[in-house]
Structure 1
């Protein structure tokens, strides 16, 4: 009886402690909803801008143009300033729209010292907000920035318009500029209502997964959202979207813990990392992503899946991804923003799939180690959390999903997923073939190859695959007129050339990502140490290793890829992580020192992954990713200028057929042939460049079509043609983002700049 009473009292105390914990969490959330963060601000101290990492770009602003060299005021203030050198000065605060509401402050002086006044007009994102006078005194001009001023990067571009005049020394100047600053007028709360709603929803999910530790899970979710809120800086994705992605991703990882046991802390750390890492490493969008976006927009507008209206050319190889982009546009969304959010969400799916696959070979702790190893991979983050706009993350998720379905012997589901993989990238044919072979082998293993029952798994796998993919393939062949995409014909090279390029691509990948060599060593170790247990791991390792080997051989044969971050190998990264922890598991089977050494190797690999991360940073000046960001910004501005200043029928010729044609919304000749049937089907390479997709062009054909405009960056492909300079003249214009747009315009054409 006493024991029963003691148990009842203990249970009562436990319930009270549990209730007190929930009340404390509620009080914490309520307090955080009232507590303000420090107001965000950005200041350009003109004359003391700090380093310029590129023309017009500092650590604070971009596209700062239209000013003279630094001078020092002679009024005893020791103030550094710059005279404006043109009627318009521009500067852009990147992604600053994410920190509304704000006030813009400009400190300037007319400083003509003859008693005359001038005018100053302050505009933000091409919307005039204030017109005032300038005098011989330094004055401060302040204006409230309206919300949601359109800009493709969600930035705030400040334009200062002031007439120029000539000094007694003969210099042309406008106004003296001292400071341009943005400041939040209302500091954000530590946790807003959206965050609180997510905490409530996440806590409800936590009760499903944890029961006994639901309070800890809810506290971790609240803490994770709080961390992301505190460290949040202006970036492509708004905080509310990041908070949603964090919550959904964390709940998905918690769901996985029901199968692969681990406490709630590690999933929370992984979730925060996947959401936070792009703020450190930077977001990016590849120029090629805009090719799919252009096809998607034309599809939504009713023109079909075409690059140019009325021309059926298959210049994309990611049908399913293009349809997803079309869905984003259909609902009025920004494909750049939503594609980035989707790839971040897919990063959670990839980590979860990697852990689930690893759990078939190793203990739960090591399986989660595979997920951490993957999450620290630079190429993985580059094509998932950081964006890219490409289909790589979707393809990688589908690869993992097919492999897991095959291992579970869910043949019909595997066939459906394999078809989706093929719809995402033609390379999926390799996985489809591996899956079919695996289904045949499993059927034969269970029933004997001479029995009809041996074919049932293969038939169950193949029928849905064929039923989904064959109608699509027949449609695209009839629609575009060729059995293969136009990009296949555009990318040429002799077998020796391609293989040599592919070998270099593999070598560079292996020396820049530790997962490759570590996986090779781990597989060798595990096969030798665990050969006697091969019946336990043979199916998993055989399927995974077989696909890794086949896909690697394919990448080498096609010559690799030119894009940063070894895009073609990203789908293999989860599989390499799995193979590594499998090898380490056998290394630690001796217990004691062997186990400790195994853990040390895993931690060392994680540390080395961190060391390599800056190489794939979009914020690292001079990196390949940073260069691509600059390229897209430059081409986007050319496209926006063309859109604003040319008639809709204006024909342009572009060597980079992504951002420029997308923003221009003008018919475009793809000079390199990815989206041009004639150039792609030329019998041989015409350009001596060792770069896939950049080896064919036809200046005769391009100039015979009489494009109205040839951007300066495209001119080298046609400049040696005898008719080029006879028919085109060079022009410079001020772009809508402040930089100079250089074009070759066909004689007789003029454009009225807006």
Structure 2
């Protein structure tokens, strides 16, 4: 019996494949622009690694800390090159993924038509393009993974074995689990692949088996990832990324409550209950697509075997659920459903008279278009909601927090937090990952539920957490004693504030900002160690508060832990108000100041009710708490001038100075 599948070449107009390639590529390109705002926090980890590599700071996340943080070395290498072209890894990733969005449906169509026919190819390509579990992974390595996966199968189906080996090798270097693609293809090729006719028995069975090995494909398929693992072992001390151990540890503790299969079932329940029962058509067509595969189209088993092995690997590893883990399954799922559509279309066409070929083709095309349109219609609300919800709350809130940290804290400060992507990229601080992605020794403690280990072990200068996050850490006496809350950031996309905790000493945070036009410029030399570059006094009233803000610049390393004194005096030098404290209210002592660093230092002084309105002066200086010795002020010649600075004209009961 003739089917639509084997009529495809005979009745196809010339150039139809080229036209379909073009149209599908344009559809993919359009989808890429629709989803360009999807940026996962984990993608920013790889972006930071790529930029560090591009700028000569090492193939690392934290410069100076040689740990393999990214799980996708090939993606990081590509983005490092893209950083030189586009100036930043996120821009390079956006350009790359938009191109891949156009390429994916083309590759899917080519694989589908080689396996079964154009209906399978077109339907599978369109379903893949708008698949929610692919779209949601846009900024990750997932689009490159899916493209390389399809390219591996496409090259092997076309019997371009050297090219297949090269692509298999690159795929295995993209991510560790991608080695399953090569394992499936190389095994199938050895067992069932096309080989020259066997020669007369001239040797042992082993020699005959050896001749079946296709070395032009095997060598690059194994050699490329092997070179990477050798490099990783030498460079990092281990071929495996720290993130693998961290994800497994999170799974052992079941931190997020979902694993690979259960996470997908959460999606499925959401789609079928909250959206539409029409989603049940997808598994029905998937099962129908399996029928011709097991009957005669055995090369489909390669895609299916990879999908099964991939699922088993992630479930057996016990890693926690992440929404982008499902993207590599989407090509096999979309094309199998496409094969189911072609199976139904062929069955409908076969109801027509045997010789009515144009009618058969018309029926098949109509049924295929109708089913594909129905499935796309079913997907549209889900994919549309994903697009509408991005940038998500992390992509909205974390960059704001990162910019604030970059602007207001010490560049040498260490920062501990949970989501290290956007924060690490934007803040440009040495990052301590509380859940162990960046520090390998943290993972075993996470497996035991100890989320405070990284903070106790590395004693970061700053800890950034949501107000209600990790109550088992925030409620502990040691954390409350060592890390008082310093500042709250209320950010777009978050219902609760992010809270900045800092150590009692050694963490600069420039909380108080004054408009540049309101700052009184100054140039006062405190013993060649500290220079006062400006100051500002807030409005003050009797019985109220005076905020005195000083702009210091460190000129040299400072060994002494100085205290700043601020005295409000009247015309007879009587002290009417006073406030002494370490800089930045005790949080950033002078021994931590770095030469050339700017420090904004505010002091709040209570003005008594009995202080009469009038004009006052402020005396300011530094002294050693132990002995009371004051830091000298020098003149331009370097000679002693005074042990305090008098700033005139503070109005109490008047305007700001």
Q: What range is the shorter-chain TM-score in?
A: 0.5 to 0.7
Give the Cα–Cα distance (whole angstroms) in 2 for the partners of residues 589 and 643 of structure 1.
61
Give the Cα–Cα distance (whole angstroms) in 2 for the partners of residues 304 and 394 of structure 1.
23
Give the Cα–Cα distance (whole angstroms) in 2 for the partners of residues 437 and 618 of structure 1.
41
For residue 328 of structure 2, what is the aligned residue in structure 1? 571
Please tell me whether the aligned partners of residues 25 and 103 of structure 2 are also in contact (alpha carbons under 8 angstroms): no
For residue 382 of structure 1, what is the aligned residue in structure 2? 136
Q: CA deviation at 1:631?
A: 1.4
Alignment counterpart, residue 311 of structure 2, candidates 552, 569, 580: 552
Q: Give deviations 1:585-630, integer Å, cap 9, x for gaps.
A: 3444453547637843652343233333332446677xxx54x711
For residue 374 of structure 2, what is the aligned residue in structure 1? 607
Alignment counterpart, residue 727 of structure 1, candidates 476, 482, 486: 482
For structure 1, the residue ranges without an aligned partner over 5 or more in a row are 1-256, 688-696
- Residue 526 in structure 1 maps to residue 292 in structure 2: yes
- Residue 686 in structure 1 maps to residue 448 in structure 2: yes
For residue 470 of structure 1, what is the aligned residue in structure 2? 226
| 1:531-680 mapped onto 2 (5 Å cutoff) | 531=295, 534=296, 537-538=297-298, 540-559=299-318, 562-564=321-323, 567-590=324-347, 591=349, 593=351, 596=363, 599-600=366-367, 603-617=370-384, 626=390, 629-680=392-443
Give the Cα–Cα distance (whole angstroms) in 2 for the partners of residues 561 and 700 of structure 1.
20
Residues 515, 686 of structure 1: CA spacing in aligned structure 2 closer, same or farther, 3 A cutoff?
A: farther
For residue 4 of structure 1, what is the aligned residue in structure 2? none
Give the Cα–Cα distance (whole angstroms) in 2 for the partners of residues 602 and 548 of structure 1.
26
Q: CA deviation at 1:478?
A: 1.9
Q: CA deviation at 1:327?
A: 1.6
Give the Cα–Cα distance (whole angstroms) in 2 for the partners of residues 527 and 443 of structure 1.
16
Q: Give deviations 1:105-127, integer Å, cap 9, x for gaps.
A: xxxxxxxxxxxxxxxxxxxxxxx
For structure 2, the residue ranges without an aligned partner over 5 or more in a row are 1-11, 199-204, 272-278, 353-359, 514-657
Please tell me whether the aligned partners of residues 729 and 745 of structure 1 are also in contact (alpha carbons under 8 angstroms): yes
Give the Cα–Cα distance (whole angstroms) in 1 for the partners of residues 143 and 381 of structure 2.
20
Give the Cα–Cα distance (whole angstroms) in 2 for the partners of residues 461 and 272 of structure 1.
32
- Residue 507 in structure 1 maps to residue 265 in structure 2: yes
Residues 450, 705 of structure 1: CA spacing in aligned structure 2 closer, same or farther, 3 A cutoff?
A: closer
SS at match of 1:312: coil
SS at match of 1:373: helix
Give the Cα–Cα distance (whole angstroms) in 2 for the partners of residues 496 and 733 of structure 1.
30
Please tell me whether the aligned partners of residues 258 and 321 of structure 2 are also in contact (alpha carbons under 8 angstroms): no
Residues 288, 371 of structure 1: CA spacing in aligned structure 2 closer, same or farther, 3 A cutoff?
A: same
Give the Cα–Cα distance (whole angstroms) in 2 for the partners of residues 606 and 459 of structure 1.
44
Q: CA deviation at 1:750?
A: 4.6
Normalising to structure 2: TM-score of the pair? 0.64
Please tell me whether the aligned partners of residues 124 and 334 of structure 2 are also in contact (alpha carbons under 8 angstroms): yes
Normalising to structure 1: TM-score of the pair? 0.56
Q: Give deviations 1:44-66, integer Å, cap 9, x for gaps.
A: xxxxxxxxxxxxxxxxxxxxxxx
SS at match of 1:575: helix
- Residue 711 in structure 1 maps to residue 468 in structure 2: no
Residues 407, 455 of structure 1: CA spacing in aligned structure 2 closer, same or farther, 3 A cutoff?
A: farther
For residue 417 of structure 1, what is the aligned residue in structure 2? 167
Question: 275-284 or 306-315, which moves further after superposition?
Answer: 275-284
Residues 275, 542 of structure 1: CA spacing in aligned structure 2 closer, same or farther, 3 A cutoff?
A: closer
SS at match of 1:752: coil
What's the Cα RMSD here?
3.5
Give the Cα–Cα distance (whole angstroms) in 1 for the partners of residues 118 and 479 of structure 2.
66
Q: Report the structure number with the largest CA radius of gyration.
A: 2
Please tell me whether the aligned partners of residues 112 and 335 of structure 2 are also in contact (alpha carbons under 8 angstroms): yes
Residues 269, 741 of structure 1: CA spacing in aligned structure 2 closer, same or farther, 3 A cutoff?
A: same
Give the Cα–Cα distance (whole angstroms) in 2 for the partners of residues 357 and 722 of structure 1.
60
Give the Cα–Cα distance (whole angstroms) in 2 for the partners of residues 669 and 341 of structure 1.
30
Please tell me whether the aligned partners of residues 719 and 725 of structure 1 are also in contact (alpha carbons under 8 angstroms): yes
Residues 440, 269 of structure 1: CA spacing in aligned structure 2 closer, same or farther, 3 A cutoff?
A: closer
Q: CA deviation at 1:408?
A: 2.3
Q: CA deviation at 1:717?
A: 6.0
Alignment counterpart, residue 289 of structure 1, candidates 19, 33, 43: 43
For residue 349 of structure 1, what is the aligned residue in structure 2? 103
